[in-house]
Amino acid sequence: MSESPYIETRRVIIDKKYNPKYGDDKICECGHPYNSHFDAHKNMRVCGWRYCNCYEFKLKLNVINYIVRVNEHVGYKTYECETKEQVIEAMGKGWQYEVNSPTGKSIEEFIPF
């Protein structure tokens, strides 16, 4: 077997960028929202969250972003919701409801005017 004139190496480069379809309301294990882990000034590349040194978004499971208390004609029932879609679904189960957010998420969009 003859020797090659070159020692060859291969490199794999993985660029991770923001996925707008993933959902900004998802929370990382560090406690910060998904979109906070990307730099808008650098084409939405991963930058980590500058206030806690978290450089990789890891979805925190079972985050209760909203609590919906619904009057279902037979009494109130409480739903713990992670997403806005779940809130809307829970509100449709009764004729009277309250929406609260233990994580400080905006709830104005669910309050009818």
Calpha distance 49→39 (Å, rounded): 9
pLDDT at 86: 78
pTM higher than 0.85: no
pLDDT tens-digit series, residues 65-96: 677 777 766 667 777 777 777 777 877 777 67
**Kind plus residue range of the DSSP H or E element containing 85:** helix 84-91
For the chain, the structural domain boundaries read: 14-62, 66-110
The answer to whether residue 54 scores a pLDDT higher than 50 is yes
**How far is Cα 85 from Cα 78, in angstroms, rounded to an integer?**
16
Q: Residue 9: pLDDT band by 50, 70, 90 thresholds?
A: very high
